[in-house]
Structures are given as structure tokens and as C-alpha cells.
Chain A
Amino acid sequence: MSRYFIDRTSKYIVFICAFASIVILGAIAVFIFKEGLPAFQQVGIIDSLFGTEWRPGQDQYGILPMVVGSIAVTAGAMLLSIPLGVGCAILLAEVAPFKVRQFLRPAVELLVGIPSVVYGLVGMLLVVPLIRQIGGTGFSIAAASIVLTAMVLPTVISISEDSIRAVPRGYKEGSLAMGATQWQTIWHVLLPGARSGIVAAVILGMGRAIGETMAMIMVIGNSVMIPNSPLDSARTLTGNIAVEINYATGVHEDALFATGVVLFFLIIILNSIALLVLKRGGRAHATG
């Protein structure tokens, strides 16, 4: 009797667990939209989405500079973290001897546990002065991208490594047996085989990058302008909300929620791309 009882109730319990996360997601979406829509109505969708001036004191609420800032920082971080991350994953999966791997892998995983404010602090006192040597104030997209790279690397590395390891052993053995060198095998057999997993790693890293707030505020300078070069200061969507929410009232507050709506859509677009790529990658794997 009790065996069946546990069986039946456990089904409901896991159902409730799953349902809770859906409810939370729904509640967040409803709340952000409810709070953000008045701003779109008042400022106008075109003016808020494509306006380049954000001056709450003058009732100007253009979100475009922040969209550009977020995308620029994320793109910069991806440009750096893809070669670094995939390179490191190849080393961990194929090249490194067991002892090196045993040390390197926990070290990489430790990076995940460092709070983002610590990344920000290190960035502010180390990366920003370095960038200043090249030019500008140092508080820049370049500095933000470098800090972000350190933060997304663990994600990119561990998922890429897993997907390289998941390539069937026969492929690698076949390639080596036909006389290919180790590098030829990695480049022509393992990486193409792991392609969909690596893409997924990159997109997950991108999701983390676009949502990062605290570290970004500390190193990017938060100027509201469309940047002309990587050495320019900028502001991200998340930073816009975090920097101004303390004092915002009325339309200003609504406009910050509208920033959240834009961020919400940006993340949905990214995740949809991720799902699409994964699905297509999976099919290619099955037929190949």
C-alpha cells in the first residue's frame, strides 16, 4: 500500500516542482510587461526602441544605446572566449596528460564560483588601467569584454570538452588508423563531430554574458552613448536598470522596466537560436 502511495505522490511532487519554475517564469514575464508597457505607450515604441538619447531629466528614453552596448560587449566576449574556450577544451579532452587534466579541470570549474562583483573589482583595478595604456579612459567595451570572457570561459570550456568527448571513439580510431596525425584527427574529425555541442556551449556562454550586471557596471563606464570603438565607454541593458532603479519614479521607472522587456526579448531570441541549432545539430548527427 505505502509503496504505491509513495509512487503516486512522488509523481505529483515532481510535477509541482516542474510547474513551479513555469509559474515563476510566467510571473516574471507578466510583471515586466505590465510595468514596462506604459513607458512604450507614453514614449512611443519607435522613440524608445530606436531613440539614441537617454535623458530621464529631459523625458527622453531611448534604449538603443544600451542595446548596442549589450550586443557589443557580448560579441567582444564571444570573440575572445570561443578560441580560448575551444582551445582549452581540446587540450583537456585530447592533448593533456591525465595529471595536467586533473589539475586544470577543477581550476576551470573554480572560476564559476567567483562572485561577479569580485570579477568587477579585479577588472576595475587591473584590466581598466591596462586598457587605458592603449587609449581612452580605460572604462570601455574592451575592458568589459575581457572581464566577461573570464566569466563565460568555464561554461564554454566544460560543455565543449564534454561534446568533444562524446564523439564516438570509432571515428577517432578510424582516423588515426588511416594515418592521420593527432592534429588532423582533432581538426577534421573530432571538432566537426562535436560541432553542435560547441555551438550550444557558445550560446549558453552568450546568455550568461548578456545577463551579467554587476561586473559590467564596474568596468564599462556606464555612459549613455553609442560607442564608436572598443575603447569607448558604453552601458548595457542590465546595467541601465541596476544603475538607475534606486531613484527612478513614474515614467523613468516604467522606462527601466521597458529596458527589461527589451532584454527579455533579446534573451528569448538567443535561446531560440540555441534550440534551433541544437535540433539541427542533433538531426545531422543521426543521419551522419
Chain B
Amino acid sequence: MLNKLRTRRFRVPFVSLVGLVLLASVVVLAGCNGGGGTITEAGSTTVQPVAEKLASAFMADNPEVNIIIQGGGSSTGVKSCNDGTVDIGAASRELKSTEPNLVKHTLARDGIAIAVHKDVPVSDLTMEQVRDIFSGVITNWNEVGGDDIAIIVVAREEGSGTRAAFEEMVMDEELITDTAILQPSNGAVKTTVANTPNSIGFLSFGYLDGSVKALAVDGVAGSVENAKAGTYPIVRPLYFLTKEQPTGIVKEFIDFCLGAEGQSIVEDEGYLSVQ
């Protein structure tokens, strides 16, 4: 109606108006045809970028499907999937026992590296030493076989999925020390550790490069191979969640993500494929 009024004011010929209406209805009808539709996904911001890549690749093959990807964090992903707000929830951590029982589809895995400044002589820590360093129990490198100098702890901000996964897998209910330098992204943690002598931080494997040194944890070197083999201890799963076993286009999309093409996108984004 509004369109009609507006176009008439600009004196568009009546014929083209009818044509437009016809065209619009054809498009709408075509959109409703079988096979098409909309998939909504929300949750972990770690999953978000790779989910967006996967969605646009899937939509390129299936132009009648529209996929909407949103962030919000893992907890939001679990919640909105359970109450049916979205078709697919995303989580970058294990589900808690207090959370509803959802169907988990392991999309990828992501290792969290313990990275130190390049000049730190230490190259191997136990899980317990890592925990004590980040909780502020160990404050000097000489307590873990390094030089007699204070440790500078670099961590992520409260609410970050990487921090939550690190706390869950490493910290075991201990709190990260108040004096830690907090940086708001994986990239900022890397830059800070790379430029701060005697510093230690944690970051997603996808961000590792030659500027920082990844430590071995419990004797296992922090490498993609070890994470894939399951020997490196700090690896978190990235999940797609559905309330029931998926059907229709949701199933098609998840199958695509877990299939060869989807998993190669996962690897391009710096995560570990699950194949």
C-alpha cells in the first residue's frame, strides 16, 4: 500500500506498478517453495566468524536458503537453542551439568596455547604450574626453572569465550589474578606477550605465529598436530547445538559444515577439523 502511494506521487506509470507487484509476488512465492527457508544461528563469538564463512559458502550453493548468524556468547547459544528462538546454537565450551541436554554436533576443535615472550628460557610447564601462575600463587620465573624475575601475566577480559574455556580447563575454580594485564582480543594478547619481556598469556591456536613462544604443557608441545592427536591437554570443542536431531535444511546445513567442504573452511579459519 505504502509503496503504491509513494510511487504514484512520483507519477510512475500504472503499468510498471502492476508489473512490480507481479514481480514481487513471484519472488515471494518462489522463496516459499520447498527446499528454501531461513536458518537462524546464535551463540559463541569464537564460532561466529567460521559460521559466517560456512553460511555464505552454503548459501552460494543453495541460493534459496537464507542463514542468519548472530553472536551473543556460548551461554546465549545454549539458552536460545533450548527455547527455540534459533534453529542452531553455538558453544565454544562443554555444556555445564546445569544446562539443558541438547544434541551436540562437533564443528571443530580449538587448542588454547600457553604463550610466553620469546626470550623466556622456560619451555615446558605442568598444568598445575600454569594454574598457579595465572592465579598469582607463582609470581617469579625462578619458581618454574627460569630467571629470577617477576612474571607478567596477560589474560583476556571477563566474558571472553577463550577465557571461559581456559578457566574451565586449566584454572579449576581458581580465579585469575587481579594484577593480570587484560587485553580485549586474541590479537591484542599476542601483541602484548610478543612485546613484553617475561610475560605469559593464553590464546587460540589460530593466532599463533613466530612472534611468541608456545609452551609445552605436561610435556606435550603446543602444536596443531598434538592437539589433533588429542595429546595436548588444552583443547576445547566448538559445537553446533540443536534441540532435536536436525531435519530438513538445518540438517543439510550441519551436514555441509561437518563434510569435506565445510571442514576445509574450518581449517582455513585456523581451527582443527574434526575429520
A, B in one complex: yes
A residues lining the B interface (CB < 8 Å):
54-57, 124-125, 128-129, 132, 137-139, 217-218, 221-225, 233, 235, 242-244, 246-249, 252
Q: Is B183 part of the binding interface, using a Cβ–Cβ cutoff of 8 Å?
A: yes
* Residues of the B chain whose Cβ atoms lie less than 8 Å from the Cβ of A138: 196
Convert B56-82 into 0s and 1s, putting 1 for each residue whose CB lies closer than 8 angstroms to a CB of A. 000000000000000111011000000
Question: What are 5 of the A-B contact pairs (CB < 8 Å)?
Answer: A56-B158, A137-B199, A223-B180, A247-B157, A252-B158
Residue of B71, B76, B152, B158 near A137 (CB, 8 A) is B152
A278→B209 CA distance, assembly (Å): 54
Q: Are A248 and B183 in contact (CB under 8 A)?
A: no
Give 10 nearest A-B pairs by CB, closest first: A247-B159, A222-B182, A221-B181, A243-B184, A225-B178, A137-B152, A243-B157, A56-B158, A139-B181, A247-B73
Interface residues of B in 165-213 (CB under 8 A from A): 167, 175, 178-184, 188, 191-192, 195-197, 199
A224→B177 CA distance, assembly (Å): 10
Residue of A nearest to B179 (CB): A223
Interface residues of B in 188-246 (CB under 8 A from A): 188, 191-192, 195-197, 199
B residues lining the A interface (CB < 8 Å):
45, 71-73, 75-76, 152, 157-161, 167, 175, 178-184, 188, 191-192, 195-197, 199
Given A222-B157, A244-B157, A249-B73, A55:B175 Cβ within 8 A: yes
Q: Are B159 and A137 in contact (CB under 8 A)?
A: no
Q: Are B158 and A233 in contact (CB under 8 A)?
A: no
* Residues of the B chain whose Cβ atoms lie less than 8 Å from the Cβ of A246: 45, 71, 159, 184
Return A84 CB to nearest CB of chain B, in Å.
27
A138→B45 CA distance, assembly (Å): 30
Among A57, A222, A247, max chain B CB count under 10 A is at A247
Return A66 CB to nearest CB of chain B, in Å.
12
Q: Are A222 and B184 in contact (CB under 8 A)?
A: yes
* Residues of the A chain whose Cβ atoms lie less than 8 Å from the Cβ of B71: 246
A247→B199 CA distance, assembly (Å): 25
Return B245 CB to nearest CB of chain A, in Å.
28
Residue of B nearest to A125 (CB): B195
* Residues of the B chain whose Cβ atoms lie less than 8 Å from the Cβ of A233: 179, 181
* Residues of the A chain whose Cβ atoms lie less than 8 Å from the Cβ of B75: 249
Q: Are B181 and A223 in contact (CB under 8 A)?
A: yes
Return B71 CB to nearest CB of chain A, in Å.
8
* Residues of the A chain whose Cβ atoms lie less than 8 Å from the Cβ of B196: 128, 132, 137-139
Residue of A nearest to B79 (CB): A249
A54→B195 CA distance, assembly (Å): 27
Q: Are A247 and B161 in contact (CB under 8 A)?
A: yes
A218→B188 CA distance, assembly (Å): 8
* Residues of the B chain whose Cβ atoms lie less than 8 Å from the Cβ of A132: 196-197
Q: Are B181 and A222 in contact (CB under 8 A)?
A: yes
Residue of A nearest to B181 (CB): A221
Return B199 CB to nearest CB of chain A, in Å.
8
* Residues of the A chain whose Cβ atoms lie less than 8 Å from the Cβ of B183: 222
Residue of A nearest to B177 (CB): A223
A224→B160 CA distance, assembly (Å): 15
Return B99 CB to nearest CB of chain A, in Å.
15
Return B179 CB to nearest CB of chain A, in Å.
6
Return A122 CB to nearest CB of chain B, in Å.
12
Residue of B nearest to A121 (CB): B191
Residue of A nearest to B152 (CB): A137
Given A56-B159, A244-B157, A244-B159, A249:B76 Cβ within 8 A: yes
A243→B75 CA distance, assembly (Å): 19
Return A235 CB to nearest CB of chain B, in Å.
8
Q: Are A223 and B178 in contact (CB under 8 A)?
A: yes
A225→B176 CA distance, assembly (Å): 13
A222→B183 CA distance, assembly (Å): 7
Return A185 CB to nearest CB of chain B, in Å.
48
Q: Are B178 and A224 in contact (CB under 8 A)?
A: yes
A252→B72 CA distance, assembly (Å): 13
Residue of B nearest to A252 (CB): B159
Return B26 CB to nearest CB of chain A, in Å.
41
A225→B191 CA distance, assembly (Å): 23
Return B139 CB to nearest CB of chain A, in Å.
12
Residue of B160, B180, B181, B188 near A247 (CB, 8 A) is B160
Residue of B nearest to A248 (CB): B159
Return A41 CB to nearest CB of chain B, in Å.
21
* Residues of the A chain whose Cβ atoms lie less than 8 Å from the Cβ of B76: 249
Given A243-B157, A252-B159, A225:B179 Cβ within 8 A: yes
* Residues of the B chain whose Cβ atoms lie less than 8 Å from the Cβ of A222: 157, 181-184
* Residues of the A chain whose Cβ atoms lie less than 8 Å from the Cβ of B195: 124-125, 128-129
Given A244-B158, A247-B160, A247-B161, A223:B182 Cβ within 8 A: yes
Among B71, B161, B184, B188, max chain A CB count under 10 A is at B184
A139→B195 CA distance, assembly (Å): 11
Given A124-B195, A244-B158, A244-B159, A249:B72 Cβ within 8 A: yes
A139→B167 CA distance, assembly (Å): 23
